[in-house]
Amino acid sequence: MTIQTARLLMRPYQDEDFDFLCSLFSDPEVVRFIGNGQTRNRDGAMEFLYWIYRSYKTNPKLGLRVLVRKEDGKLVGHAGLVPQTINGSEELEIGYWVAREYWGQGYATEAAAALKEYGSRQLGKKRFVSLIQPENAASRKVAERIGMELEKEITLAGRKVCVYSNRRRK
């Protein structure tokens, strides 16, 4: 699956993207609200890359994709549709990370909106969630900009997480 927006090409990860993935994981500000909030070394980044590759094998239409800026080919982040289990329910998360030097330029919103449209039109999905730590104001704004609302707060892996969704569960 490759998705294009006005400024971005969203394509599957390749081995050549590993150094970029390492740069995301080594920046404490980028990972502050991801998982346990800790940076990862190259081994940790490699484990994550293998997880991404396994997700492609499970469902090639899902998983994290590299965000490539069309104008110059720069890698600016990654985003994707990621299956999640929340309180026993299968959900489809719109997830996004952007490298710090590209914050505030609308790339996360652009990618998230494109993923929501892709999931609706190509996959026939109606409901999407974004799992966002309460202190992550920037990501909360992205979710709101694409039409999501705070549905509830849960505890996931020992951390409080806001569940944003575009449709309430019935």
91 is a domain residue: yes
pLDDT in tens, 122-152: 999 999 999 999 999 999 999 999 999 999 9
Q: Give the structural domain span for 127.
A: 3-165
74 is a domain residue: yes
pLDDT in tens, 32-68: 999 888 999 999 999 999 999 999 999 999 999 999 9
pLDDT at 15: 97
Model-level pTM greater than 0.85?
A: yes
pLDDT at 169: 65
In CATH, what number is assigned to the domain containing residue 73?
3.40.630.30
Return the CA Rg of the chain. 15
The pair of three-digit structure tokens given for residue 121, joined into one six-digit string: 């039109």
Which among 164, 27, 147 is positioned nearest to 95, based on CA atoms?
164
Residue 170 pLDDT more than 70? no
pLDDT at 156: 86
132 is a domain residue: yes
Count of structural domains within the chain: 1
For 99-135, the DSSP string reads -GGGTTSSHHHHHHHHHHHHHHHTT-----EEEE-TT
170 is a domain residue: no
136 is a domain residue: yes
